[in-house]
Structures are given as structure tokens and as C-alpha cells.
Amino acid sequence: MPTTAFHTRRLVEHRYGRPLEHLQGEVARRRSTDPVLPIVLRRLTDLEQTSEQGRATRATLRSALQDAVADGSAGDDRLRPYIAELMRVEQQERSQAEALWDLLDVRLLLDQPAAARLPLSQQPGRALNDQDVTDAARRAAACLPRLTRDGLRQALRDRGIHISNRRLGAVLQQLRAERTR
């Protein structure tokens, strides 16, 4: 049965455009330029743990209910603590999910103004000239701990710039030459 944690995980993957495993790898290797991503992943882990706790609480309640039916007793007093615990866990799961959804919405809003401020030459669907790519790569490289092909490619993609491998190599050579001066 799909849960809130499952749907939230899919939402995170959709918003970032990559599977969760890739996002976790980026954070583990400190290759992500998104400051919100580690927080999102930590909160998603907490939500999944709470969801698992809810499943365990439901199983315990189910077992206590079966015992009460087997005994032929009313069992209201025996079931009350399990019901209260389940209600608490479900409320916690809802609160965690809503906080995570709000965080994803904030991230989405933070990304939008940056895209709107792009110069006409860098807006999606437009061809970029070499100077535009170099300028964007220079800004992206300033945020990278090491200037590598993969790091620069990902930093440019995070900015909505997709270039060929050949063009990336030329830009990378130029940036490395500038750093050695």
C-alpha cells in the first residue's frame, strides 16, 4: 500500500529530476550545489522512519484487536493506548510530510526567480554563444571545490545549460588556463 513517505519520495525525485540514490550520492560526495538538498534528504529519512513506525504500530494494534476478539472481551481499555500511539504517529507523519512539501515548494520558488533573470541568450531553447557559456562556466567553477569535467558539467546543468562534450572540454581547458595565470 503506497504511503505518504512513498509519494513524498517520488515528489523529491520529480523536483530534482534524478533518482533518490543519485541525490544521496551527490550529497555524500559533496558534489551538490543545492544547499537545500541535504535538508530535504534528512527530512525524507525521518519521514520514512516515522512511516515505518506507523506500520509497526498498526501491526501491534491489529494483534491486540485479534487478542481481544479471541478473548471475547470488550478490550476497549486494552486498545486505547495502541490507538492513541497510532494517532500520535500518524499526526507526526503528516506534520513531517507537510514540512518537507513546504521545503520543496520553497526550493522551487527559489529556482524560479533565477531562471527569470537569465539574459535572453541563456534562456532555455536559445543557442548560447561561446562567451555566454564561458561566463556561465566561470561562475559555476567558482562554486566548485575542484575543477573537474563532471563537476563543471553538473554545475552547468544545474543552471539549465546543456552543452556538448566537445564544447565542455574546450571551456574546461580555457578555465584551467585562466587558473594557472
155-178: pLDDT as tens digits? 888 888 888 888 888 899 998 888
Is there a single domain that holds both residue 58 and residue 74?
Answer: yes
Q: Which domain holds residue 139?
A: 120-174
How far, in Å, CA of 4 to CA of 96, rounded?
10
* pLDDT tens for each residue of 140-154: 888 888 888 888 888
How many structural domains compose the chain?
2
Instruction: Report if residue 179 sits inside a domain.
Output: no
99 is a domain residue: yes
Q: Kindly indicate the confidence band of residue 116, based on its pLDDT and cuts at 50, 70 and 90.
A: very low
94, 126: one domain? no
- Given 116, 131, 147, the domain boundary residue is 116
In the chain, what's the furthest Cα-to-Cα distance?
Answer: 86
181 inside domain: no
Question: Is 169 among the domain residues?
Answer: yes
Residue type, 74: A
Residues 112 and 125 in one domain: no
For residues 118, 122, 123, 124, the Cα torsion angle rounded to the nearest 10 degrees is: -140
CB–CB of 156/131 below 8 Å? no
Q: Judge if 10 and 91 occupy the same domain.
A: yes
The number of angstroms, rounded, from the C-alpha of 129 to the middle of its chain's C-alpha atoms is 32
Which position has the higher pLDDT, 87 or 127?
87
For residues 101 and 143, state if they share a domain. no
Distance CA 68, CA 80 (A): 12
**What pLDDT, in 10s, does the model give residues 3-50?**
788 888 988 888 888 898 988 888 888 877 778 888 889 999 999 999
